[in-house]
Chains A and B, each alone.
Chain A
């Protein structure tokens, strides 16, 4: 889809300018030019978000900027979804879904910003992300993962004492003999402060930011790097 590259460039520029209306205007312009919404999603929004993700990985972009980018992308997805009458973004993707991921904040943790940004990146990365919200009890993580046949549980924690509650999720996975089919990934400021902490709470892996979360999950579920 070479014809969409100029739109991708314009969308990326709007993201870097934190221009909400500008970003939505580019998406609408691509649709108005006759491109299918699915193509706009695949060749405009996803590559632009990938580029922002790389900037985040290189510490070239602040949290406030990633927040705005994620919000613009969410709005763009909503607009494209409406055009295609689909609700779940991964069903639009030409690529096979990489699987279902259960996302939530650790028991006792009421912070949501980072988790929501990760959810946006995971959805556009090819995963079906089910976000359970804040202060999610361990059993709800595991029960939902079983019911939805999820491959990964992703838990966000900002604070040390809420990170330690993640051990309960590991204990439940072990108790129910689910460790082989459901992986446990954690993230949040406290894990970035101590790269070894994820092991101490029983997680299989950690991700330092939203972009890294997509890479880590793809590796864990055996998808492409």
Chain B
């Protein structure tokens, strides 16, 4: 099996030849090309070339055709602030008042030069490796995007403090905008060459929401947007998702990206036959691991989630940080591929 066939088997709940390895490496390509992160992130050619060089180096099973999900806010007119050693942040909040939120229009993803570079990267990757290795796209999920446009505090204020008469019209409009944008952006990435799209939904884990809040606020949005996306979707909750994980198969997503806070065995028991699991190695601790540490930790994760298939060994989202040694990443890939079915 090649990487593409291996991952497709996992997503289809068939047994692959071995466990696919999916270390999400969004920044490492810059070093491969000798570029700053800003230079690297700013051109689709760089992103594609960086991913191909990383694939050649590590032999993993997923390539990322996007630089980072923060870029989604550029479609709404926001700028990005770049850092020397990490992903960019929002330069400013697009929404500063409920009036701003109520007047927010649905942007065309193609209106953003930044997003066009991502589409270019996906197109270039598809031209080189389509069918050999899966190409991953990503979007900020509609329920979480408002926190990037107005700040988490204002978003929570609207959701949980504001009077219903004020909240509901703003909420309805805002979620309609983010849902329409997210669906269009995901579909644009699929059309450009992505094989699967990750919905980064940082506001939708048990760390942030109670189960009733999740059911009331976030779940219907996930369900609605997945229905509108013309390809397979992975959900990344960026936090403990186990308390609501049984609800996710009904959304139509095909897999879950898990964090170290998510118990792999418990999650496997709850949804293992319905959803692929991806994760859940601790990407922050990984910086101080030796290859032996990685092997030991990876084998523990594999023992919990690999039996029966349906598992991709990966770091937790959003990415493997800079500072993780090549030897440690090689150890991750080797541990996954050594698990044979």
Interface on A for B, CB 8 Å cutoff?
18, 20, 62-65, 67-68, 71, 108, 110-113, 116, 159-162, 164, 190, 193-194, 196-197, 200
Chain B residues near A162 (CB-CB < 8 A): 86
Q: Closest A-chain residue to B85, C-beta based?
A: A161
Chain B residues near A20 (CB-CB < 8 A): 161
Query: In the complex where A20-B161, A161-B85 touch, is A63 in contact with B284 (Cβ < 8 A)?
Result: no
Please state if B85 and A164 are interface contacts (CB–CB under 8 Å).
Answer: yes
Interface on B for A, CB 8 Å cutoff?
81, 83-87, 89-90, 151-153, 156-157, 159-161, 206-210, 213, 260, 282-285, 287-288, 321
Whole-angstrom CA separation of A42 from B157 in the bound complex: 27
Q: Closest A-chain residue to B217, C-beta based?
A: A64
User: How far is the CB of B96 from the nearest CB of chain A, in Å?
Assistant: 14
Whole-angstrom CA separation of A63 from B214 in the bound complex: 12
Chain B residues near A161 (CB-CB < 8 A): 83-87, 321
Please state if A193 and B153 are interface contacts (CB–CB under 8 Å).
Answer: no
Please state if A112 and B161 are interface contacts (CB–CB under 8 Å).
Answer: no
Query: In the complex where A18-B160, A110-B90, A194-B285 touch, is A64 in contact with B153 (Cβ < 8 A)?
Result: no
Please state if A194 and B282 are interface contacts (CB–CB under 8 Å).
Answer: yes
Query: In the complex where A62-B209, A62-B210, A110-B89 touch, is A190 in contact with B156 (Cβ < 8 A)?
Result: no
Cross-chain pairs A/B with CB under 8 angstroms, 21 sampled? A20-B161, A62-B207, A62-B208, A62-B209, A62-B210, A63-B207, A64-B210, A67-B156, A67-B160, A71-B161, A108-B81, A111-B152, A112-B152, A113-B156, A116-B153, A159-B86, A159-B87, A159-B89, A161-B85, A194-B288, A197-B284
Please state if B282 and A193 are interface contacts (CB–CB under 8 Å).
Answer: yes
Please state if B285 and A64 are interface contacts (CB–CB under 8 Å).
Answer: no
Interface of A is mostly: helix
Please state if A196 and B288 are interface contacts (CB–CB under 8 Å).
Answer: yes
Chain B residues near A164 (CB-CB < 8 A): 85
Whole-angstrom CA separation of A162 from B159 in the bound complex: 28
Query: In the complex where A162-B86, A193-B282 touch, is A112 in contact with B213 (Cβ < 8 A)?
Result: no
Chain A residues near B208 (CB-CB < 8 A): 62-64
User: How far is the CB of B308 from the nearest CB of chain A, in Å?
Assistant: 29
Chain A residues near B285 (CB-CB < 8 A): 193-194, 196
Chain A residues near B151 (CB-CB < 8 A): 112
Chain A residues near B90 (CB-CB < 8 A): 110
Known contacts A64-B209, A108-B89, A193-B285, then 5 further A-B pairs from the complex at CB < 8 Å, ordered by chain A residue = A62-B209, A64-B210, A71-B157, A161-B84, A196-B285
Whole-angstrom CA separation of A62 from B208 in the bound complex: 5
Chain B residues near A200 (CB-CB < 8 A): 288
Q: Closest B-chain residue to A195, C-beta based?
A: B285
Whole-angstrom CA separation of A164 from B159 in the bound complex: 32
User: Which 6 pairs between the two chains have the least Cβ-Cβ distance?
Assistant: A161-B86, A193-B284, A194-B284, A194-B285, A63-B208, A161-B85
Whole-angstrom CA separation of A107 from B283 in the bound complex: 22
Please state if B86 and A62 are interface contacts (CB–CB under 8 Å).
Answer: no
Whole-angstrom CA separation of A144 from B208 in the bound complex: 32
Chain A residues near B84 (CB-CB < 8 A): 161
Please state if B321 and A160 are interface contacts (CB–CB under 8 Å).
Answer: yes
Please state if B153 and A112 are interface contacts (CB–CB under 8 Å).
Answer: yes
Please state if B284 and A160 are interface contacts (CB–CB under 8 Å).
Answer: yes
Please state if A62 and B156 are interface contacts (CB–CB under 8 Å).
Answer: no
Chain B residues near A108 (CB-CB < 8 A): 81, 83, 89
Chain B residues near A68 (CB-CB < 8 A): 156, 160-161
Chain B residues near A113 (CB-CB < 8 A): 152-153, 156
Whole-angstrom CA separation of A193 from B285 in the bound complex: 7
Chain B residues near A63 (CB-CB < 8 A): 207-208
Whole-angstrom CA separation of A111 from B86 in the bound complex: 15
Whole-angstrom CA separation of A71 from B161 in the bound complex: 8
Whole-angstrom CA separation of A116 from B209 in the bound complex: 18
Chain A residues near B260 (CB-CB < 8 A): 193
User: How far is the CB of B204 from the nearest CB of chain A, in Å?
Assistant: 11
Whole-angstrom CA separation of A193 from B240 in the bound complex: 12
Q: Closest A-chain residue to B240, C-beta based?
A: A59
User: How far is the CB of A70 from the nearest CB of chain B, in Å?
Assistant: 10
Chain A residues near B161 (CB-CB < 8 A): 20, 68, 71
Whole-angstrom CA separation of A18 from B162 in the bound complex: 12
Please state if B213 and A62 are interface contacts (CB–CB under 8 Å).
Answer: yes
- Choose among B84, B86, B288 the residue with the greatest number of A CB atoms under 10 Å from its CB: B86
Chain A residues near B83 (CB-CB < 8 A): 108, 161
Chain B residues near A160 (CB-CB < 8 A): 86, 284, 321
Whole-angstrom CA separation of A190 from B207 in the bound complex: 14
User: How far is the CB of B315 from the nearest CB of chain A, in Å?
Assistant: 11
Query: In the complex where A108-B83, A193-B284, A194-B285 touch, is A64 in contact with B89 (Cβ < 8 A)?
Result: no
Q: Closest B-chain residue to A115, C-beta based?
A: B153
Whole-angstrom CA separation of A200 from B288 in the bound complex: 10
Chain A residues near B288 (CB-CB < 8 A): 194, 196, 200
Whole-angstrom CA separation of A63 from B207 in the bound complex: 6
Q: Closest B-chain residue to A116, C-beta based?
A: B153
User: How far is the CB of B56 from the nearest CB of chain A, in Å?
Assistant: 26
Chain A residues near B159 (CB-CB < 8 A): 64
- Choose among B153, B157, B283 the residue with the greatest number of A CB atoms under 10 Å from its CB: B153
